[in-house]
Amino acid sequence: MLKLGEKVIIVDDRFEQNLPIGEYGYIIAYDRNADNVFEYVVRVPKAGRNFLVTGDDVEREEVLVRQEVERIEREALIDYALQTRNEELFRHIMNGGEQVEEEEEEAPETQSPEDFMRQIRLKAWI
Tens of pLDDT, residue by residue over 18-44, are 999 999 999 999 988 888 889 999 999
CB within 8 A of 37, min separation 6: which ones? 15, 54
Question: For the chain, which ranges sit under pLDDT 70?
Answer: 97-109, 125-126
Whether residues 41 and 54 share a domain: the answer is: yes
Whether residues 51 and 67 share a domain: the answer is: no
pLDDT at residue 100, rounded to an integer: 52
Whether residues 19 and 52 share a domain: the answer is: yes
37, 14 Cβ separation under 8 angstroms = no
Q: How far apart are CA 23 and CA 92, in angstroms?
A: 35
- Tell me whether residue 35 is in a domain: yes
- For residue 25, give the CATH number of its domain: 2.30.30.40
